Amino acid sequence: MINITGICTLGIDRREYQRWKKQPLNETQKRKILIQKEITRVFYHFKRCYGSARIAVDLQNSGYKITGRTVRKYMSELGLSTIVKKN
């Protein structure tokens, strides 16, 4: 995380940064956060065995309009990866 001193050394005004930081989230950002929470919930509910395709199907059955590719991207951002069982 960058502190305010680091921001100022980059030539960004402190007040502008604080104003930007306090902006409310837009609908797209709120939806992304909600879906990421749901992905995390499903991922741990199924004991880290469900991959992006299965989580996408589970979310689609719950009423979300989302693709496996988007789920894979969000899982990568969240640092979630499945457990591979060895036989």
* Look-up of token digits 């902006």: 23
Q: Is residue 1 scored above 60 in pLDDT?
A: no
Q: What is the rounded distance in angstroms from the CA atom of residue 41 to the CA atom of residue 61?
A: 15
Nearest one of 64, 34, 26, 70 to 52, comparing CA atoms: 70
Q: What is the rounded distance in angstroms from the CA atom of residue 77 to the CA atom of residue 27?
A: 19
Please say whether the beta carbons of 59 and 39 come within 8 A: yes
pLDDT in tens, 44-71: 999 999 999 999 999 999 999 999 999 9
Predicted TM-score (pTM) above 0.85: no
Write down the pLDDT at residue 57: 97
